């Protein structure tokens, strides 16, 4: 957003137009005693050069994932993004308005959305997918709301260790008392299971599918590391599959923007949130793409809309689609295998470090280890040595991750630092 300075004359003209004698009149409806402060304890303004230097000092305190040995996962993963992705997403065919309601001028964007949906549906083993969501956490929360609409029930059961940020987002969408970790019953709208779970362990779905069928609940599968679908079976048993797709096409970027995905069975299509792109034919019989089933959306149904959440930034879905197109099915499977091999190599090295114990019995590309000292203290100590050791859990447990970006030198540096820290 551009900075638009106003002159005193311009301010006076605007105030006169709205019938205000001064800036303070614009805040007259806000209680002065409770909500307004006369002054703020802020430093005086500085010149542009001084501000740039000041902000650069802050920026230099950051440690980028690609500059140091990096073993942090926990829902956001460090993967290689080919330079070709950045080149292709800048092409003019994909430059259009945020919402492509006019298909005649947005065919490039609409085709990308359609292909993105196709990728997600194929990867998740579901019938249909939407045009993306804000991120994995909101995607899971919307899945719970959709299950409540479908079943007309109000209870959500969490079946395993789900990412705490996702649970926190769910708690902001539904009543906290409606979220349970007990077995599903006749009041349960859905059972949510994460795979691999927050501790990196892949899950099986058959038993949960049976439990859901017995009580009439939907099975929701959440995936925070979409690369795992290149090696693990697609969750075809699920009614809804959602999660985070940042690993394909998107860098870590200090936390976003990321890319939530959402897919489901066809019979629940009209209850699915977000936008949908469909393929059709024009008057000449040529293939074309349009937004479809838009009667579910807020610009038509308003407060009765299926969902008031919007589609994710189209650029994120575009980057995902371009990267997946470059990988292809074989490349995606190879990428997943490289991730698992890197994690196995990391586990083999860590188990040789005195005092370190591998807690996870199965994993994809991240797992839990136990340290001889408090995990948070160890992480802070290693960060001072420019090694990002992982995500500290409670006590001495540490969640570590390896991807195709993890080198032998990175693993050696971590093991050496852990020996010293222990």
Q: Encode pLDDT of 398-419 as tens digits.
A: 999 999 999 999 999 999 999 9
- Looking at residue 101, its pLDDT comes to 76
> pLDDT band at 311, cuts 50/70/90?
low
Kindly report the average pLDDT of the chain as a whole number.
92
**What confidence tens digit (pLDDT) does each residue in 86-101 have?**
999 999 888 776 677 7
What the block records as the tokens of 219 is 């099975």
- Tokens 């430093």 belong to which residue? 43
Sheet containing strand 357-358, strands side by side? 357-358, 366-370, 397-401, 391-392
How many other CB atoms are there within 10 angstroms of residue 232's CB atom?
17
- Looking at residue 98, its pLDDT comes to 63
pLDDT(1) > 60: no
83-322 CATH fold: 3.40.640
> pLDDT band at 365, cuts 50/70/90?
very high
DSSP H helix total and E strand total for the chain: 12, 13
Residue limits of CATH 3.90.1150.10 in the chain? 65-81+328-421
**What confidence tens digit (pLDDT) does each residue in 221-262 have?**
999 999 999 999 999 999 999 999 999 999 999 888 999 999
β-strands 218-223, 240-244: how paired? parallel
Residue 293, judged by CB atoms within 10 A of its CB (0-12, 13-18, 19+), counts as middle
pLDDT(299) > 90: no
The answer to whether 371 touches 378, Cβ cutoff 8 Å, is yes
**What confidence tens digit (pLDDT) does each residue in 366-390 have?**
999 999 999 999 999 999 999 999 9
Distance of alpha carbon 14 from alpha carbon 269, whole angstroms: 49
Distance of alpha carbon 77 from alpha carbon 247, whole angstroms: 6
**What confidence tens digit (pLDDT) does each residue in 128-171 have?**
999 999 999 999 999 999 999 999 999 999 999 999 999 999 99
CATH of domain 65-81+328-421: 3.90.1150.10
- Looking at residue 31, its pLDDT comes to 79
Residue limits of CATH 3.40.640.10 in the chain? 83-322
For the chain, what percent of residues have pLDDT higher than 90? 76
Nearest partner of 198 among 234, 223, 171, judged by Cα: 223
- Looking at residue 110, its pLDDT comes to 92
Distance of alpha carbon 264 from alpha carbon 127, whole angstroms: 6
């Amino acid at each position: 957003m551009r900075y638009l300075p106003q002159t005193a004359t311009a301010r006076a003209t605007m105030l006169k137009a709205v019938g205000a004698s001064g800036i303070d009149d614009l805040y007259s409806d806000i209680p002065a005693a409770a909500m307004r402060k006369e002054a703020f304890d802020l430093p005086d303004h500085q010149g542009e050069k001084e501000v740039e230097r000041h902000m650069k000092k802050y920026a230099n305190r950051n440690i980028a994932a690609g500059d140091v040995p990096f073993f942090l996962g926990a829902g956001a993963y460090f993967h290689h993004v080919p330079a070709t992705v950045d080149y292709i997403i800048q092409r003019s065919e994909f430059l259009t308005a945020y919402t492509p309601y006019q298909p005649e001028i947005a065919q490039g964007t609409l085709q990308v959305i359609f292909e993105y949906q196709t990728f997600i549906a194929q990867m998740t083993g579901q019938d249909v997918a939407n045009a993306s969501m804000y991120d994995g956490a909101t995607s899971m929360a919307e899945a719970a709301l959709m299950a409540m609409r479908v079943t007309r029930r109000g209870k959500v059961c969490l079946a395993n260790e789900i990412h705490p940020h996702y649970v926190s987002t769910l708690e902001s969408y539904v009543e906290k008392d409606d979220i349970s970790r007990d077995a599903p019953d006749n009041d349960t709208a859905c059972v949510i299971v994460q795979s691999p779970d927050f501790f990196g362990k892949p899950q099986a779905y058959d038993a949960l599918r049976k439990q859901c069928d017995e009580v009439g609940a939907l099975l929701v599968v959440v995936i925070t590391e979409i690369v795992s679908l290149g090696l693990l079976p697609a969750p075809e048993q699920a009614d809804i599959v959602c999660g985070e797709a940042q690993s394909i096409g998107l860098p870590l970027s200090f936390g976003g923007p990321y890319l939530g995905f959402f897919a489901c069975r066809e019979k629940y299509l009209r209850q699915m949130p977000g936008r949908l792109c469909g393929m059709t034919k024009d008057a000449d019989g040529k293939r074309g793409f349009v937004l479809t089933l838009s009667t579910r959306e807020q610009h038509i149904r308003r407060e009765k809309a299926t969902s008031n959440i919007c589609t994710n930034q189209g650029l994120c879905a575009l980057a995902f689609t371009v990267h997946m197109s470059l990988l292809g099915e074989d490349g995606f499977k190879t990428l997943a295998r490289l991730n698992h091999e890197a994690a196995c190599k990391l586990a083999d090295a860590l188990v040789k470090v005195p005092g370190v114990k591998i807690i996870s019995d199965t994993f994809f590309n991240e797992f839990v280890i136990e340290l001889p000292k408090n995990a948070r203290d160890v992480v802070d100590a290693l960060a001072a040595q420019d090694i990002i050791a992982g995500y500290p859990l409670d006590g001495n447990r540490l969640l570590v991750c390896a991807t195709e970006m993890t080198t032998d030198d990175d693993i050696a540096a971590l093991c050496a630092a852990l020996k010293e820290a222990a």
